[in-house]
Amino acid sequence: MACASSLDLPNSLSHRLKLSKPSQSRKPSSVSFPTASLNGSAGSQINGSSEFPKINGSHKTPKINGSKPINGSGFINGSSLPHLNGFDGINHDVGLRVAFQGSFGAYSEFAAKTAYPDCITLPRRSFADALAAVESGKADRAVLPVESTMEGTELRNYDLLLRHDLCIVQEINLFVHYCLLAMPGVRQTQLRRVISHPMALAHCGRALAQLGLDREPVEDTAGAVEMLRANHLLDTAAIASPRAASLYGLDVLAQGLQDESWNVTRFLLLSKSPAKKVFKNSKTSMVIAHRGGSMMVVLKVLSAFSSRNINLKKLEVINSSGAGQALVMILDVRGRGSLRAFPQVLYVDCEGSIEDPVVKEAIEEIERFSVFVRLLGCYTADTNVYDLQ
């Protein structure tokens, strides 16, 4: 498969997009992904070949553990250590089942493979279905994107987390790189529309406006690629990752479509049980609910942490007390397991472990003046930003 280089772009746009060059194919990297199947046959190849193309002229197949450097170090932030789910030399993720929303090749699957390179990924139609798979025992983990540098916090997904009895056990920050994909041999002049997840279309708004393509939202980026290939659409492009192009045998017409060059999404890995072992650089997440006096509660929360020299990594205030606004529903995991409604909540991430006496003291102080406190998880803070290029 060759990657076409015939995309005709306006001058104002072409300097921002990396055009893909024709390439020779090579065998896939050691990271194991399920082979895409469009006819229901497990493990079947779309184009009869098990070889993947190089992307953007590179002879290195994109990997999903940050091994393709942006600054020459292997990670965006210069860290020389790959992300592991344990530091005892033992591979803990073999056979681990991780549910994600979307089709094979979705960014959520990349996040799962970054956290657990040898895991088995299980596609689900919705984020709620992915969480339900863990609760029912059909999966061991679920992946949930919760915020991005371009969109801010994904409150709907935080709401899902609050409604389920699952614990945060890991976080992954993933650099999201959007590409324009088309059927092999299709040129830009043949394209009339582009399909992708609504957020991906929004993230690439300026580029798509200059390309003059009609936009059609679908459920997810990988689903768009799957639809493109399954229906053999010659007048349609999809926005997805370069890895999705390799997986489904499509041409990469252009790379870097996102309006903002720095596009990072934070994913949470969820489990029925809390993390077994948390290392020194730990982070604790919690939700604090109250009724009335928002500013006073915020100040008291800040005081509880600052008086003990505990750094906050996140503090977000949600006020749903206005007319017509839905209350925030939180599952009371320590009570009868019922959902409770609150008009105001605070999402808090702080440095330190819940086993730390100082952190415990801060939480106990907050519990004295708030209506409700629920710990969402204690896990190793990961400041790496992983790249799929």
Go through the chain and tell me how many residues it has. Answer: 389
What pairing do the DSSP bridges indicate for beta strands 179-182 and 236-240?
A: antiparallel
Count of C-beta atoms within a 10 Å radius of residue 118:
14
DSSP string spanning 322-384? Answer: STTPPPEEEE-TTTTS-EEEESEEEEEEEES-TTSHHHHHHHHHHHHHSSEEEEEEEEE----
87 has catalytic annotation? no
Report which secondary-structure segment, H or E, holds 147: strand 141-148
Tokens of 186: 């299709």
Residue with tokens 């029925």: 272
Tokens of 215: 């936009």
Check 33, 75, 267, 342 and give the catalytic one.
Answer: 267
Q: What phi and psi values does residue 228 have, to the nearest 5 degrees?
A: -60, -45
CA distance 359 to 350: 9
User: If you ran DSSP here, which 8-state letter would residue 109 be given?
Assistant: H
User: How many CA atoms lie within 13 Å of 321's alpha carbon, on the beta-carbon side?
Assistant: 12
Check 121, 221, 265, 380 and give the catalytic one.
Answer: 265
Query: What is the widest separation between alpha-carbon atoms in the chain?
Result: 65
267 has catalytic annotation? yes
Catalytic residue positions? 265, 267
